[in-house]
Every structure is written in C-alpha cells, then in structure tokens.
Amino acid sequence: MDGLGSVRTPVFRSLRLRMALSHGAVLAAIVLLLGGTGYLLLEHSQSSQATASLMAAAQDERDRVLESSVVSAPIDTDVPSAAATRLALFRPDGTAVGEANDVPSWLRPHPQTVTTVAVLGEPVRLVTLRAVKEGRLLAVVVAGRSLAPEEALLERVQLLLLAGGLAAVALSMATGWFLAGRAVRPVRRAYEAQAGFAADASHEFRTPLAFIRSAVELMVEREPDLGNEVLEEVDYLAALTDRLLTLARADSGTLPLRVRPVEVLPLCAEAASRNRAVHALKVDVGIEEDGAPTPAAGEAPGPVALGDPVALEAALDALLENVARHGGGEATVSCRRVNGRVRVSVADHGPGLPPAQRARAFERFFRADPVRGRDEGGVGLGLALARDLLAAQRGSLWLEETPGGGLTAVMELPATDEPATDEPPGSPRSPRFD
C-alpha cells in the first residue's frame, strides 16, 4: 500500500495548521481589543489625574491671592523633584513674581487653560488660571509638572501587553495545533483507510486481470466475437484500476515523481502523436505567440518547466482523451511562458461545459451527461487524475471557455531558466505509475 496508513496527507496538515492559526488569530483579536481598550483607558486616566492635580494646585494659589489681595511668590517654589508641581505667579504686565531665576523658562502663561509642551524631549502639562477680583486682574497663576512618570508607566504597560499577548497567542496556537490534531485524527484515519482500500484493491486487481486477459486471448482464437468483447471489458477494468491506484497515491503523496527541468513542447508533441494513433484525434501542437498558437517548426525550442515528464504526459493524455470523447475529436495544444509559469492549453471546439459544471468537472466519476454509458462518456476520472498529477508537481489545472465555442483546459507548471535534462537511461516512456 506504499505506507498509506502512516502518511499524514498535506490536506490534513494544512487543515490542522489553519485551525491552529484560527485559534491564534481569535485570541490575538481579543488581546488587541481588550488590551488596546485598557491601554487607552489607562492613558486617559493618567492624563486626567495629572490635569486634576495641577488644576487643584493652581486654584489653591489663585484663592490665596484673591483672599489676601497680595501678589507674592508662591510657597515652596524650589521643590527638587522632576515630578513635583511647579507654581509661578505673573503680574498683569507679564513679569514673574519673585526671583526671575527661580522660574524656569518653560513655566510661562498660555492662552489655553490646559496645554502640553515639550521640554528637552519631555512632555510637560501646564495649567494657566487668572486671579481676577472685582473685574481687576491681580495675577496669572501657572502650574506645571512633567508627564515623564506617566509616560514611563504607559511604556511598561505597553511592553507588558505586547509580550503577554505574543506569549498568549503562541500558547493558543500550540494548544490549537494539539487539539486540532486530536480532532482530525479519526477523520484522517478514515480518509487514509479509504485511500488505502482503493490502492490495495487496485493493486490486487492487477494480477487476476492479467491472468484473465491471458485466458481471454486464448478464447479469442475459438470465439473471436465473444473474446474481443470480453477483452474490451478487461482492458476497461485494467485502465480503471490503474487510474484508481494513481489517484490513491496522489491522495497519499506517494506518487513516484522525478521533478526536473523538462522541455514541454516535445512532451506535448509526443502526447499528441500517441492520441492521434489511439483515439484518431486531430491535434495541432504549437507555441502560443500574441494570443494565437504558432505551429512548432523543426527543433524550435519551447519553454522549460519544472515537472515530471511521465506525469506531465499522463495529464496531457487524460485531457486529450477527454477531447476525443467530448470535445469533437479536434484539439489545439499550445504552450507559452507567463509570469514565471509555463502554461499549456488544450483547446477544443466541442459543445463545452456550462460554467456551473466546470468546477464539478474535476470531481471523480463526474459525467456532464449521466445518461451516457461509459463507452461514450468514459469513467469520469480523467480530469481528476490530470489535476492531481499536476498538483503533485506544484502545478494547477482549470477550465475556461474557448473563444468561438468549446472548452479549453489550461494547466500550469513552475517555469525555470535551467536547461532541460535528458531522460535518465531506462526510465519509462509510458505515462504509468506502476
């Protein structure tokens, strides 16, 4: 089974990662909302308290002047503390009361009652009140103090919120990763069991099918009509078995791919030649230039992609077989390099697919017309197989409408500037994954 039971498929690793990230994102949003709100409330509270203390000191000094009607220097103006409130009185003409040297240059009246100024890079809050008695201005009281203690407190709180928030988010993501692993474990086991069953069944079917085919070939010699009919059924089952096994391996990430620089145009020509012989398909192959395919001339170089040549031919075979069954029997295969990717388009002019059915076309066993039998409509695994083969090479596949009618299958692979490497000796040319 190629270790399917022990393989943790990328689907579940991605799901587990998304669940862990969602845990972290939710907690980060909560921490940001609550922490930000708390920080803003604390900042507002500190600012309000500083203003209130300055206002109280300035009002007390103004009341003293109004009661005595004497303008004298404030008491304790030389308190040696950077956070202490500094008071100063100014006469109506703007001169300071007391020793001018005792009044710092930043402690001056301002038109606004409350203002904040910067002194040597430090924020200072100032409150200016006017002592007016019987309509006469006696003095102007100015109270000021540094806001450095409040700024330091806010910086510590900010650092605490940042460090605590990051730690909480990391812990939440680790917890989410652990819980997600436990939650998806039963689903992953069931998924791997299903994929394992498909792989085991497909693998075990090969030997009896080969034996049946050998026996039927002997039957053909005596009963040609019946033998040929049985041979067609055996070939159908063998092809179905191969595709189921390939899809199971793609699901489990165990496809034996050899990704390397490969020239795409010769592979397109090889697949086209094979499908002309097998399906009597009319195929033109070329390099797309200015939006139109140009037939490849001789040894004209084409774009080089990073991919597995066998898997790439298998995907092309699946797309061309789909054209033979549903696309009118004629196709144009073109390739070009676009934004660091190599794009291969397989365009037909058949009936096409409605937009609603294009997304479902990659579902396994999907048929656009369920009434058709498998002789006309196929098994419904071709597009699913091509998509999984390309995804295993970091490529993609989608469907779009062909200009003028029809359906175009577009596949992309990573481009490279490295020269294409030759096929290793003894490597299989048939696009199978045995």
For the stretch 63-79, pLDDT in tens is: 888 888 888 877 654 44
The CATH code of the domain that includes 382 is 3.30.565.10
Flag the least confident range among 56-65, 124-133, 378-387.
378-387
178 and 262 together in one domain = no
Q: How many other C-beta atoms lie within 10 A of the C-beta of residue 405? A: 12
What's the whole-model pTM score?
A: 0.48
- Backbone phi and psi for residue 301, each to the nearest 5 degrees, phi listed first: -70, 145
Residue 239 predicted with pLDDT over 80: no
Instruction: Quote the pLDDT of residue 72.
Output: 80
150 and 265 together in one domain = no
Residue 8 predicted with pLDDT over 90: no
Q: How far apart are CA 48 and CA 41, in angstroms?
A: 10
157 and 265 together in one domain = no
Q: Is residue 333 part of a domain?
A: yes
17, amino acid identity:
L
Task: Name the band, by pLDDT with cuts 50, 70 and 90, for residue 333.
Answer: very high
Element (H, E) at 407: strand 407-414
Q: How far apart are CA 269 and CA 284, in angstroms?
A: 9
End residue of a domain, out of 138, 157, 183: 183
Q: Is residue 87 part of a domain?
A: yes
Instruction: Quote the pLDDT of residue 424.
Output: 46
**Mean pLDDT, range 197-215, rounded to an integer:** 63
Write out the two tokens for 353: 């697919």
Task: Name the band, by pLDDT with cuts 50, 70 and 90, for residue 44.
Answer: very high
End residue of a domain, out of 150, 183, 216: 183
Q: Is residue 126 part of a domain?
A: yes
End residue of a domain, out of 183, 214, 245: 183
65 and 154 together in one domain = yes
153 and 279 together in one domain = no
| Sheet of 114-119, strand order | 86-90, 136-146, 122-133, 114-119
pLDDT of 299-332, one tens digit each? Answer: 556 899 998 887 888 888 888 988 888 888 889 9
Q: Is residue 253 part of a domain?
A: no
**Reduced to 3 states, what is the DSSP secondary structure of residue 322?**
helix
Question: What burial letters (b/e) apply to 141-177, b meaning 16+ CB within 10 Å?
Answer: bbbbbbbeebeeebeebeeebeeebeebbeebbeebb
The CATH code of the domain that includes 61 is 3.30.450.20
Flag the least confident range among 10-14, 51-55, 161-165, 393-397.
10-14
154 and 33 together in one domain = yes
72 and 174 together in one domain = yes
Instruction: Quote the pLDDT of residue 180.
Output: 79
Task: Name the band, by pLDDT with cuts 50, 70 and 90, for residue 155.
Answer: very high
138 and 39 together in one domain = yes
Range of the domain at 269: 258-414
Instruction: Quote the pLDDT of residue 3.
Output: 42
**Reduced to 3 states, what is the DSSP secondary structure of residue 342?**
strand
Write the secondary structure of 181-223 as one string of H (helix), E (strand) and C (coil).
Answer: HHHHHHHHHHHHHHHHHHHHHHHHHHHHHHHHHHHHHHHHHHC
34 and 136 together in one domain = yes
Q: Is residue 173 part of a domain?
A: yes
Q: Is residue 248 part of a domain?
A: no
Q: Indicate if the alpha-carbon torsion angle 211, 212, 213, 216 is positive or negative.
A: positive
In contact, 400 and 359? CB cutoff 8 Å: no
Residues in the chain: 434
Number of independent structural domains in the chain: 2
Flag the least confident range among 33-47, 113-127, 214-228, 364-378.
364-378
173 and 288 together in one domain = no
Q: How many other C-beta atoms lie within 10 A of the C-beta of residue 321? A: 21
Q: Is residue 201 part of a domain?
A: no
Q: Which long-range contacts (CB under 8 A, 24 or more apart) does 172-176 make?
A: 172/23, 172/24, 172/26, 172/27, 173/20, 173/21, 173/23, 173/24, 174/20, 175/23, 176/19, 176/20, 176/21, 176/22, 176/23, 176/24
Task: Name the band, by pLDDT with cuts 50, 70 and 90, for residue 9.
Answer: low
CA angle 110, 114, 115 (to 5 degrees): 70
135 and 274 together in one domain = no
Q: Is residue 113 part of a domain?
A: yes
